[in-house]
Amino acid sequence: MAGTDKTQNQVLGPAPVVVLVHPQLGENIGTAARAMANFGLHELRLVAPRDGWPNDRATTASSGAHWILDRAQVFSEVVSSLKNMNYVYATTARPRDMIKEVITPEQAGDDMRVRVGRGERVALLFGRERWGLSNDEVSLADVIVTAPVNPAFASINIAQAVLLMGYEWFKEHATTLGQQSPQLAALRGPGLQTPSTRLATKEELYGLFEHLERELDAAGFFKTEKKKPTMLLNIRNMFGRAQLTEQEIRSLRGMVSSLTRTHQRRREPGA
Amino acid sequence: MAGTDKTQNQVLGPAPVVVLVHPQLGENIGTAARAMANFGLHELRLVAPRDGWPNDRATTASSGAHWILDRAQVFSEVVSSLKNMNYVYATTARPRDMIKEVITPEQAGDDMRVRVGRGERVALLFGRERWGLSNDEVSLADVIVTAPVNPAFASINIAQAVLLMGYEWFKEHATTLGQQSPQLAALRGPGLQTPSTRLATKEELYGLFEHLERELDAAGFFKTEKKKPTMLLNIRNMFGRAQLTEQEIRSLRGMVSSLTRTHQRRREPGA
């Protein structure tokens, strides 16, 4: 499918951020960038790419989508790559033993357009070539996106996964670019009403997790070190699902602080 | 996106035939075969592949979709490759100066399912890497399929084009196959994965609210009686949104109990 119109400008409006977690082959980073370019995605983040960065093989494989690679940001861990995001979609090929909503790429496309349309920053999380995302990484996301594939051959290349998500992002967008879309306006309805506040950033959410973990640790809540990772995962999934606003995060942290101070105050001399 | 279930049989029901016209790189034939396998396509036809056939690079790039390559048929020209077909979709990235209907991959998906469902043999025609299909080749098709792409970067890799068409073919199809596959059935709609537990009853949820309110009251969290009702409402909204399971409710109540006990224990005589 050749046919680039060189006279057209790149479409660089607000769009979902693509985060590749521990990508192994430069070729895949390059073809992912090409797929991004096809569908108007332009912000790429790499978490600890195996072969370092920049990577010549990525450039070659990108077929000219160099502006995406040039501006790619590199992070050492997933958490830091998501800090200024409001909403994160984790792409997985198989069902996870996790309490988290699972949607299709098509549903994700609708959802992304609504969120980006109202000013939220959203990210698409893609796993490493060999085994995808870890449960821990998935727990950092708000929702799981799984494409309906042949269960007998479910392994999708990263660039292909990026392509599907980009395609679904751009599919409807393409018809309404630059104009007020009644379709998008209609979709805005069922979204979260956040009257006088805004959705929390991931940095704020992760701050809550750390605060909670610290206090629960001090309280001996995690009976054994072995159980702790699973318990933390469950806590993250639970709070992650609620799509908390920044005000609610502050309120929850206030609650945690209050609760831990309770008996302290009661037992203070003279109290 | 790893996650192939090796216990599943390949889905080999009637499906559209993929015809690659003058493919140049073996890698692209292999990755196209892999994309076909992802979406239950299994019949591949090659028109005059540049590097001959079979091709080792194709096998390597197919990531195990060898059954498609093994059964691929080779033709010397497009016309003969389409002879036993009833309906042909030509995929192109740019508008052609041709009086022919142009539809989207999504529309093609619906159309293919209807046609294949009533026993028609349909083919998807993909052009060579460098410049796609000639006008002459497009004229052999019944309809043109063009994906909405960024006009400033419209060049899609063959395997990516095959993937999009396969995806649209399989997307709805998967809902009917779901009857046999629990994995696909799970994909049918949005929904929460609740592996080994169930959504909490309202009684359990309200029990959490009461527990939390009692402890927050004791902790002096509600600064004034006047503010308390609004703060309680916000807490209920927040936890209500998370669609908690009964296990999570127990876990949250355990957390509250732990946190309130923390400093108590620390300050006990001899502790």
Query: Which tens digits make up the pLDDT trace of B152-164?
Result: 888 888 999 999 9
Q: ipTM exceeding 0.90?
A: no
Whether A255 sits inside 8 A of B63 (CB atoms) is: no
Q: B269 Cβ partners below 8 Å, 6+ apart?
A: none
- Contacts of residue B153 in chain A, CB cutoff 8 Å? 4, 10, 34, 37-38, 64-65
> For residue range B17-76, what is the model confidence (pLDDT) as tens digits?
999 999 999 999 999 999 999 999 999 999 999 999 999 999 999 999 999 999 999 999
The answer, yes or no, to whether residue B215 has pLDDT greater than 50, is: yes
Exposure string of A201-213, with b = 16+ CB inside 10 Å and e = fewer, is: bbebbbbbbebbb
Interval B97-110 mean pLDDT: 84
Whether B262 sits inside 8 A of A265 (CB atoms) is: no
Is the backbone peptide bond immediately before B229 cis, with ω within 30 degrees of 0?
no
- Contacts of residue B164 in chain A, CB cutoff 8 Å? 163-164, 167
Interval A151-170 mean pLDDT: 92
Question: How many angstroms separate the CA atoms of B30 and B130, rounded?
Answer: 17
Whether A267 sits inside 8 A of B263 (CB atoms) is: yes
Residue B121 structure tokens:
């043999």
Report the residue of B20, B160, B209, B211 to disrupt the A interface, i.e. the one with the largest count of A CBs within 10 Å.
B160
Interval B210-222 mean pLDDT: 91
Report the residue of B259, B264, B266, B268 to disrupt the A interface, i.e. the one with the largest count of A CBs within 10 Å.
B259
Whether B219 sits inside 8 A of A261 (CB atoms) is: yes
Interval B116-123 mean pLDDT: 90
- Contacts of residue B1 in chain A, CB cutoff 8 Å? 91-93, 126-127, 132, 154-158, 161
Whether A148 sits inside 8 A of B174 (CB atoms) is: yes
Paired with B89 in beta bridges are: B124, B143
Question: What are the helix and strand counts (H, E) for chain A?
Answer: 11, 7
Does the global pTM surpass 0.80?
no
- Contacts of residue B4 in chain A, CB cutoff 8 Å? 93, 151-155
- Contacts of residue B157 in chain A, CB cutoff 8 Å? 31, 34, 63
Whether A263 sits inside 8 A of B259 (CB atoms) is: no
Whether A170 sits inside 8 A of B154 (CB atoms) is: no
Q: B148 Cβ partners below 8 Å, 6+ apart?
A: A170, A171, A174, A175, B104
**8-state DSSP, B239:** H
Interval A147-169 mean pLDDT: 92
Report the residue of B5, B39, B67, B150 to disrupt the A interface, i.e. the one with the largest count of A CBs within 10 Å.
B150
Q: Are A222 and A178 in contact (CB under 8 A)?
A: no
Question: How many angstroms separate the CA atoms of A63 and A76, rounded?
Answer: 27
- Contacts of residue B105 in chain A, CB cutoff 8 Å? 167
Which of A134-138, A181-185, A199-203 has the least mean pLDDT? A181-185
Considering CB atoms only, which of B149, B239, B244 is closest to A39? B149
> For residue range A1-12, what is the model confidence (pLDDT) as tens digits?
445 554 444 556
